[in-house]
A = this chain, B = another copy of it.
Amino acid sequence: MEKSSILVVGSLAFDDLEMPFGTFENVLGGAATYSAVAASLLGAPTRLVGVIGEDFEEATLTDLQKRGVDTAGVERAKGKTFRWRGRYSQDLASRTTLDTQLNVFADFRPKIPASFKSSPYVLLGNIHPALQLEVLAQIDKPWLVVADTMNFWISGEPKLVADVLAKIDLLVINDEEARELSGVHNLVKAAAEIRKRGPSKLIIKRGEHGALYFDDEGVFFAPAYPLEEVVDPTGAGDSFAGGLIGYLSRAGTVSHATMRQAMYFGSAMGSFCVEGIGPRRLLETTRDDVSARIKDFADLVETGPLTLPE
């Protein structure tokens, strides 16, 4: 097994984004795209599995390859690429789906190339749980299987979601999903309930309010980076997951301590992502930008000794 490769399975897409300050069409999107860009930005060898249509430019694939993303698992099918159109609220806190055109994604059955099967790190994007199970059936036993987001499958496919939960190591979901999945409002209790169902590790994302991590060794909190300007939240969660698994791959070990650090790298990737339309800012981010933001981040929470004077 190679030491550090990450297998990312999920959507590649074009997004039409109706933002309060203007509409942006044909923006490169898809959960797997954001995650792969974020992971590769941290220097993690990343393998991408997904499907694109005839309208997806070869140059975009080439750019991903230059970033260290192996696109051998990106299948080109007849028809158009998956397309999502959404409108964001004035404060960017919520969004409405205006149109979803599955296109080639409708018949997507992930095929994992032989050279990808022994990837030690696996990130399953928000695809149908039946497809997630198909991915897991095709690969060798990895060190860490992460599933990111499952919103509409929770009520739509509870049985399959349960099957997926039993087979993954780390689930990354937001607070609404955690409440829906567990049936419990309090997030600390919800976390305990969800972890009983399979994943020993759980991250509950709270958007601009940061994220909580739970495992057998305890609970950890990482804030979101406080930005002056949020331009577009699309892909922030996917970038978080990519940054997280990217750091773990670079660290070469998955411990409670490295998970804590990985949360900050995930948050940093999410913070770059939301600074531009689509993945624009993330694609421009350099390794030096990452180091600087991580330093700012560490400074944001640094307290010195916390003891009451005698």
Partner of A297, one of B186, B265, B287, B306: B306
Contact for A301 among B91, B209, B301, CB less than 8 A: B301
Q: Is the CB of A257 within 8 A of B304?
A: yes
Closest to A304 in B: B257
Q: Judge whether B306 and A294 touch: CB under 8 Å.
A: yes
Taking the closest CB of chain B, its distance from the CB of A265, in whole angstroms, is: 7
A220 CB contact (under 8 Å) in B186, B212, B291, B300: B300
Q: Check if A209 sits within 8 Å of B210, measured CB to CB.
A: yes
Interface string of A203-238 (1 = CB under 8 A from B): 000100110100000111111001111100000000
Return the chain B residue nearest A299 by Cβ: B218
Within the complex, which residue of B186, B218, B264, B307 is in contact with A306, where a contact is CB–CB below 8 Å?
B264
Q: Does A290 contact B (CB under 8 A)?
A: yes
Q: Please tell me the number of chain A residues within 8 Å of chain B, measured between CB atoms.
A: 50
Where chain A touches its partner, the secondary structure class is mixed
Q: A42-B308, A252-B309 are in contact. Are A226 and B218 (CB under 8 A)?
A: no
A265: which B residues are within 8 A, CB to CB?
Answer: 306, 308
Is there an interface contact between A186 and B294, defined as CB atoms closer than 8 Å?
no
| Complex interface bits, A106-118 against B, C-beta within 8 A gives 1, otherwise 0 | 0000000000000
Subset of 17 A-B contacts with CB under 8 Å: A186-B227, A186-B229, A188-B227, A221-B223, A223-B223, A250-B309, A260-B302, A261-B304, A261-B306, A264-B303, A265-B308, A290-B308, A291-B308, A294-B307, A295-B306, A297-B306, A301-B301
Q: Which 7 A-B pairs have the closest CB atoms?
A: A209-B209, A188-B228, A221-B223, A260-B303, A250-B309, A298-B306, A294-B306
